[in-house]
Amino acid sequence: MRLQALHHVTFAVRDLDRQETFVKDFGLVIVERTDSRLVMKTCGGDPFAYVAVKGEENRFVGLAFTVENAADLDEAHARLGATAPSDLDLPGGGRSVSLTDPDGNLVLLVHGSQRSEPEPFYPELEHNTPFEKRRFGRNQHGRERGPARLWRIGHVGLFVKSFRTSSEWYEKMFGLIGSDIYHIPGQPQARIVGFFRMDRGDEYVDHHVVAFMQDPRGGCHHISFETQDFEAQQRTHCFLGSKEYEAIWGVGRHPHGSHIFDVWRAPDGARFETFSDTDLFRKEHGTNVHDISQVTMDAWSTDKPDRYFV
């Protein structure tokens, strides 16, 4: 069985009204809103990407991946101990099975949910550099001020109680491959952070679809959505700032994965990230292991990401 993509994330949220306002300002588009549920999508054609269910407390519920074949659901039921396949009660339909990961997060595998045509995006930027001129006799295409048009959900960062237990579980269940892994200074066996990509053989995939950070709190560290380009991120950054939401970290660029990132706090406390320009790897590229004391997290700044982990 090979994972195809991250499908969606689910959170329990106490105040759905405040959350709805934020996620709309962040760039997600409403699919369904009832007293008990908020379902949001990106503009890239996915049926939905973010679900908030009304809850007594704010907490992460789980994540879902798309699989290639309906038979993968049967295989997950027979071989991995997942529930029996059943209809997915969410927009776009499809079938799903569920598992529970070592930290108690619900992990769904989904097949057959219906995509739609992507919304229109802006024309690609044409850059004039000292070395190459591409734009002549006209301005850069204009863009509206306001929420970004998000293309897709790309990755999830999880706090895990044991890095070894969680990373081994996801490797064994879904064949995830470590791209970059960090260990405690001077102790190569004591691994505590890792960025894992999907195994899709010769096909290139994002540097990571899931990141694990060992932290006793458990739950979700952040969810991340791909924007068209860095200009969309910068515009989103300014727009969210104008609404006086809490900026957590960014705009910056991660050295590992190379993506430009920008992280904001939602009303429920969750961290929402935009990203663009991520590295792509395939199975053959293997795993790099680093001493965490040698790792920088933002190539553009030496600011300590103190609020990133609060």
Residue 43 CB, shortest distance to Fe ion, in Å, is: 19
Q: Cβ-closest residue to Fe ion?
A: 224
Name the residue nearer to Fe ion (CB basis): 102 or 305: 305
Residue 308 CB, shortest distance to Fe ion, in Å, is: 10
Q: How many CB atoms lie within 10 A of CB 96?
A: 25
Q: Max alpha carbon distance in the chain (Å)?
A: 62
Residue 248 CB, shortest distance to Fe ion, in Å, is: 11
Residue 207 CB, shortest distance to Fe ion, in Å, is: 10
225-284: contacts with Fe ion (CB under 5 A)? 273
Name the residue nearer to Fe ion (CB basis): 48 or 195: 195
Using CB under 5 A, pick the residue from 167, 224, 233, 274 that binds Fe ion: 224
Q: Which stretch binds Fe ion (CB under 5 A): 39-47, 174-182, 221-229, 241-249?
A: 221-229
Residue 195 CB, shortest distance to Fe ion, in Å, is: 9
Residue 225 CB, shortest distance to Fe ion, in Å, is: 10
Residue 219 CB, shortest distance to Fe ion, in Å, is: 15
Q: Which stretch binds Fe ion (CB under 5 A): 35-43, 189-197, 218-226, 289-297?
A: 218-226
Q: Which stretch binds Fe ion (CB under 5 A): 47-55, 96-104, 220-228, 288-296?
A: 220-228
Count of residues touching Fe ion (by CB under 5 A): 2
Name the residue nearer to Fe ion (CB basis): 7 or 259: 259
Name the residue nearer to Fe ion (CB basis): 7 or 256: 256
Q: Are strands 177-183 and 191-197 parallel, antiparallel or unpaired?
A: antiparallel
Name the residue nearer to Fe ion (CB basis): 226 or 273: 273
Q: Which stretch binds Fe ion (CB under 5 A): 12-20, 41-49, 197-205, 222-230?
A: 222-230
Q: Which stretch binds Fe ion (CB under 5 A): 43-51, 97-105, 216-224, 245-253?
A: 216-224
Residue 210 CB, shortest distance to Fe ion, in Å, is: 10
Only one residue has tokens 């989904």, namely: 110
Name the residue nearer to Fe ion (CB basis): 98 or 236: 236
Assigned token pair, 115: 């995509």
Name the residue nearer to Fe ion (CB basis): 107 or 220: 220
Cα radius of gyration rounded to whole Å, the chain: 19
The answer to whether the peptide bond before residue 251 is cis (omega within 30 degrees of 0) is yes
Closest CA to 61 of 11, 6, 125, 117: 11
130 residue type, one letter = P
Assigned token pair, 30: 């409403």
> Which residues here bind Fe ion, judged by CB under 5 A?
224, 273
